[in-house]
């Protein structure tokens, strides 16, 4: 597995080490460049980032290339979970950012279909070849920007790496597509941003992604 290291200021993440128990899968809702994701985060003083980002098709990084900004043993804010979410599910608040590792997949996410064309949420057109239609709508959306095979393979490689390094269980669970009490309690495992946020659509239940997760 080839991981590309990119420059990222140490002031943009916390160099504290905590036991890693969870992995959260995100997508950027942005373009294909994983390097540019870190450039964007570097300009944000709030230390919001994930340790790695996975490039998409057409990027200068290369489809599926893993770009790393800081070590997975360290942490930054990537979940944005409010205390009210814990309260509403009857779970004591804990800082999940510290005990988790985040993965960002470069992807536009949900798409709209207008006039025979597909558009992302900022009005950019997405070629039909890069669109997937789900059999069942997810959070009221049926068209999404496709995760590439190379990106899904890189997610798999990272999950296996962190399973070995931190002992994080990577068994697939169906509850990861909605807010999960398991996730909020800090139980070990693989989750999505949806597992802790009602307002998120990342990652979406891509059939090949689910197939890969079930194979682990």
**Who's near 35: CB < 8 A, 6+ residues apart?**
4, 6, 55, 59, 60, 61, 67
Average predicted confidence (pLDDT) for the chain:
97
Q: Are 167 and 20 in contact (CB under 8 A)?
A: no
Q: What is this structure's pTM? A: 0.97
Domain(s) of CATH 3.40.80.10: residues in the chain: 3-8+18-107+148-215
pLDDT at 121 over 90: yes
The per-residue b/e assignment along 68-95, b for 16 or more CB within 10 angstroms, e otherwise, is bbbebebbbbbbebeeebbeeeeeeeee
pLDDT at 45 over 90: no
Across 55-82, average pLDDT: 97
Q: What is the pLDDT of residues 181-206, one digit of tens each?
A: 999 999 999 999 999 999 999 999 99
CATH class as words, domain 3-8+18-107+148-215: alpha beta
Q: What are phi and psi of 77, to 5 degrees?
A: -75, 125
pLDDT at 1 over 90: no
Across 162-172, average pLDDT: 98
CA distance 176 to 192: 6
What was the pLDDT predicted at 2?
85
């Amino acid at each position: 597995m080839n991981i590309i290291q990119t420059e990222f200021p140490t002031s943009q993440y916390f160099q504290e080490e905590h036991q890693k128990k969870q992995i959260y899968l995100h997508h950027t809702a942005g373009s294909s460049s994983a390097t540019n994701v870190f450039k964007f985060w570097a300009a944000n003083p709030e230390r919001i980032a994930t340790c790695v980002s996975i490039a998409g098709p057409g990027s200068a990084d290369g489809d599926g290339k893993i770009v790393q900004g800081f070590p997975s043993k360290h942490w930054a804010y990537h979940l944005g979970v409010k205390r009210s979410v814990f309260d509403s599910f009857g779970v004591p608040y804990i800082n999940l950012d510290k005990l988790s590792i985040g993965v960002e997949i470069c992807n536009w996410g949900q798409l709209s279909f207008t006039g025979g064309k597909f558009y992302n949420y900022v009005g950019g057109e997405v070629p039909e070849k890069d669109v997937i239609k789900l059999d069942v709508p997810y959070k009221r959306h049926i068209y999404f920007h496709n995760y590439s095979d190379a990106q899904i393979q890189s997610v798999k490689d990272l999950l296996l790496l962190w399973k070995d390094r931190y002992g994080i269980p990577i068994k697939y669970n169906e509850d990861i597509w909605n807010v999960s009490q398991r996730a909020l309690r800090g139980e070990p495992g693989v989750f999505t941003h949806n597992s802790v946020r009602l307002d998120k659509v990342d990652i979406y239940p891509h059939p090949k992604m689910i197939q890969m997760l079930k194979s682990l």
